[in-house]
Amino acid sequence: MFLKFIKDFGLKKIVKKSLLNYKAATSAGKIVTVGVLIDETYFTQKEALIRELVSNGIQRSNIDTLSFKDKLKKGEVMDCCYLTRADISSAGDFTKEDVSAFINKPFDILISYYDVGKAPLELATLKSQAKFKAGFSTVDNRLNTFMIKTLAEKYKEFVTELFKYLKILNKL
């Protein structure tokens, strides 16, 4: 517990320092590839969220996800890409290959699907090479290009609002 506090404190310091010089990138292109960063500690309906994205015109093969868990339970098996605090060095670098690949992939949009700011999630959003970033308004507003004010449990509302504004911005 104490080590978790120390690591989070260090990561928050890294995020805060990095945000001083951070400028959110924007692109004029259409959205084809989507990265979804999910806090699976609280939001467990990942597949329902993906189905909602697919129903709005995004191909399933163009959607990549990275899930964050505070702690893996003994014997728990996670699918594909997941992130824990143990996968981040004290310097703020990602030590797991699939996490680094996700962060370095130039998505057309990164959906930061977490409404409570946690240092590992904020660091992943900050270091992502995505061209456009969308997330919740309850998280640091410097991280995302576009923010929606809703609750994480209301994923249908979030996706509906996101696609409504992406059409207005001529991203679809």
Q: Quote the pLDDT of residue 109.
A: 93
pLDDT in tens, the chain (172 residues): 566 667 677 777 777 777 667 666 666 678 899 999 999 888 889 999 999 999 998 999 999 999 998 877 776 666 778 888 888 888 888 888 989 999 999 999 999 999 888 888 998 999 899 989 999 998 888 888 889 999 889 999 999 999 999 998 888 7
Strands (DSSP E) found in 11-118? 34-39, 63-68, 82-83, 109-113
Q: Quote the pLDDT of residue 143.
A: 87
- List the 34-39 sheet strands across, edge first: 82-83, 63-68, 34-39, 109-113, 133-136, 146-148
Transcribe 106-163 into DSSP letters. --SEEEEE-SS--HHHHHHHHH---SSEEEETTS-TTT-SEEE-S-TT-HHHHHHHHH
What does the block give as tokens for 119?
Answer: 């240092």
Kindly list the domain boundaries of the chain, sorted by start residue.
Answer: 2-168
Nearest to residue 135, comparing CAs of 55, 121, 80? 121
Q: Quote the pLDDT of residue 22.
A: 63
Per-residue buried b or exposed e for 52-91, using 16+ beta carbons within 10 Å of the residue's own CB: bbeeeebeeeebbbbbbbeeeeeeeeeeebbbbbebbeee
* Residue 95 phi, psi dihedral angles, 5° rounding: -95, -15
